[in-house]
Structure 1
Amino acid sequence: MELRHLNYFQAVAEELNYRKAAERLFISQPGLSRQIKQLEEEMGVQLFERDRKHVELTAAGAYFKREVDFILNHLEITQKQIQEIAQGKEGELRIGFLGSASNQVLPDLLQKLNSRFPKINTSLEELSNQIQVEMIQKDKLDLGFVRLASVPEDLEMRAVYRDTFSLVVPADHPISVDTFQSVGQYSDESFILFSSDYSNFYYEQILGICRDAGFSPRIKHKSVHALTIFRLVENGLGVAIVPTSLKEGYELNVRFMEIPAITQFTELSLIWKPENRNPVLGKVLSLI
C-alpha cells in the first residue's frame, strides 16, 4: 500500500463516482479502478459496492474513509509544522469561534499567546457551533469557542465565560432603560433571533425567557450573524435577545438593555480533541 492508494481511495469515497474522481486526480478511469482493486486486494476486504449506475461505501469502506481522512489530514499538518520549524517558527494553532468570542475572550487569549509564545501563529475562522465540532473531530481545527450544552464523547469542553442576556431594540424605541422591567413589555413586538442552526440549546433558552415572561415570541426573522440581526433591529424590523457581551464592537443605532431577574444565562465554552497531536495545543490550553 502506498500513499497514492489512500489519495485515490479518498477521492472515490468523496465523489462516489469513478469518472469524477479520475478527473479530479488527473488519471484515467480504468487506471483508477485498477488502483482501487489493488488496494482492496491488499486489505483483503471490499471497500465499495458498485454497479454501472451506483458506487457506495461498504461498512468497512466507511470506517476506512474516516481513518484515511485522519491520516491524510495529519500528514498535511505535519508538513506544515516541519516547514514552520525549518523557518524558525514554532507552529500554528487553528481556532474556530463564534462572533461573540471575538469581543473579549478571543482577544485576551491571543494577547496571552503573543506574550508567552510569540512564535506560534494562529489561523482564525468564524464558524457555527456544529461546523466547529465536526472540524475538531476531523483534526481540521485545534480549538473552538462554542455555545453548546454538550459535545460528543471524543471531545473535551470547558466553560470560559458566563454571560447574561440583553434585549436589543431600536435606539428610538419608546421603552427606555429606566422603564424597562421585563421582556413581557415586548410581547406584541416581532422578534429577530439567532437561528436554531446557530445552537438549538441557545435558541431554546431564548424561547424559555419569553415563556417565563408569559408569552410566546412572534419570530419574524432568523439569522446566524449578529451584525445582520442588529441591522434588522436598527431598521425597525423587530427586537432581539442576545448575549450581553455582543454589545461591544458594534457602532449601530440600537440600544442594549440587560434583562433583569431571569434565571437563564449563556456560557461560552472552549472545546478540543484530547487526541489532537498538534504540539502547540498543550501550550495554549495552559493559558485558558
Structure 2
Amino acid sequence: MNYQIELRHLQYFKVLAEELHFRRAAERLYIAQPGLSRQIKQLEEYYRAPLFIRDKRNVALTVAGEYLKTEVDLLFNQMGIIKTQIEKIAEGKLTSLKLGFIGSAVQAILPQLLVELKQQQPLIDITLNELTNEAQLDMLLRNELDFGFVRIKDTPIGLRSIPILTDHFALVVPKTHPLGKSKKVNLQDFKDESFILFSKEYSNSYYELVMSIFQDQGFQPHVALKTVNALSIFNLVSQGLGVAIVPSSLKKGYHTHVDFLELQHIPQRTTLSLLWNDNSRNPGIDLLLNIVKNIEKRNLKK
C-alpha cells in the first residue's frame, strides 16, 4: 500500500528510536500504542524496509533504522534552527548565533569580536558556551553550534576553519618556585616535577602536541592531574600541586598566584582556529566571518 508520509510519521519514529519501547514512546506522544504501531508500519511500507527489530521483550533499530534516525535527528535539528531564525527575523533581529569556545579564545579575540558584532547588529542574539575542543567539533557537525574556537591539528571533513592566533608555550610554576625567576628555562630542570595538563578530553591532538615537547626533551613526565579548565590548572599550580605547560596567551586575563616562564626556544606551537559548518545557512555566518577578517587585517597592520 502506498502511504503519503507526513512529518508526524517521522516524529513518531524519532521518539520510538529514542525510547526503543512502544508503550513509553506512545506515552510521550500522547497516542495509543496500537496507533503508534500502525504509523511505524506505514513508514516501513513506504521505505520498503524494516526499521525496527521487535520481539516480546526488546525493540532495536535495524541498519536502515539507524540510518534513518541519524537523518531524522538532523532534519528536526534544522527545523528548530529555521523556527529560531524566523522568530528572530519577526522580532527585527538579523539572527542568533551560538558560539563555542575554549578559555584561551577569551584572551585572544572573543571580547573584541563580540563588541564589534553588537555594534553592527545591536539586536543579534549571541549564546556563548565554554566547551572542550571535542565537544565543539561534535556540536558543529550536528549544526548545534554556529562557530567554535578550538585548538586542533586537522579540520574534520564538513567543517571549515581559519587560523586566529598561533601561540608558543609557557611553563606555569608557583610564585614560590625556586626557578620561577629564571630568564632561560631548561625543561630538564623540571623532569622530576609533577605536571598538571589539559586532558585528552580537552583535545586529543593538543594533548599529543604537549607530550611531544617532553619527548623532545628526553623524559616522560609524571602527569599528576588533568583537567579541561585553565583556571583550575592555575589554581592547582598555585597550591603547589605541580607545574603546567599551557599556550602563552593564557597568561592574559587571569589573576592568579603563578609565574609564566616562556618556552619560545622550543619548536612546538599551537594555533587557535575558528571553525564553522560548511553547510550552515545561518545568515549570521558571513557577518561574523567578515568581522573576524577585518580584525585580523587591523592586527597585521599594528
Output the CA distance in 2 between the equivalents of 1:179 and 1:159.
Answer: 30
Contact 2:94–2:283 (CA<8 Å) still a contact in 1? Answer: no
Percent of counterpart pairs with the same letter? 49
Match of 1:276 in 2: 280
Match of 2:148 among 122, 144, 150: 144
Amino acid at match of 2:32: S
Contact 2:174–2:180 (CA<8 Å) still a contact in 1? Answer: no
Deviations 1:106-128 (A, max 9, x none): 11221221222323221111111
Match of 2:81 among 52, 57, 77: 77
Contact 1:129–1:198 (CA<8 Å) still a contact in 2? Answer: yes
Match of 1:116 among 117, 120, 123: 120
Amino acid at match of 2:66: A
Output the CA distance in 2 between the equivalents of 1:169 and 1:21.
Answer: 55
- Give me the TM-score of the superposition, normalised by structure 1: 0.94
Q: Superposed, which structure 2 residues align to 1:79-228 within 5 Å?
A: 79-228=83-232
Output the CA distance in 2 between the equivalents of 1:29 and 1:244.
Answer: 59
Which moves more between the two structures, 153-162 or 177-186?
177-186
List alignment gaps of at least 5 residues for structure 1.
none
Deviation at 1:179? 4.5
Determine helix, strand or coil for the equivalent of 1:125. Answer: strand
Output the CA distance in 1 between the equivalents of 2:254 and 2:66.
Answer: 45
Which moves more between the two structures, 186-195 or 69-78?
69-78
Match of 1:250 among 246, 251, 254: 254
Match of 1:9 in 2: 13
Match of 2:299 in 1: none
Output the CA distance in 2 between the equivalents of 1:114 and 1:132.
Answer: 23
Contact 1:181–1:260 (CA<8 Å) still a contact in 2? Answer: no
- Give me the TM-score of the superposition, normalised by structure 2: 0.90
Given the superposition, is the C-alpha separation of residues 3 and 168 from structure 1 closer, same or farther in structure 2, using an over 3 Å criterion?
A: same
Contact 2:108–2:165 (CA<8 Å) still a contact in 1? Answer: no
Deviations 1:213-250 (A, max 9, x none): 22111111111111211111111110000111111222
Deviation at 1:22? 2.8
Contact 1:8–1:25 (CA<8 Å) still a contact in 2? Answer: yes
List alignment gaps of at least 5 residues for structure 2.
293-302
| Matched residue count | 288
Deviations 1:142-163 (A, max 9, x none): 1111111113211112211111
Deviation at 1:180? 4.0
Deviation at 1:8? 1.4
Output the CA distance in 2 between the equivalents of 1:22 and 1:77.
Answer: 26
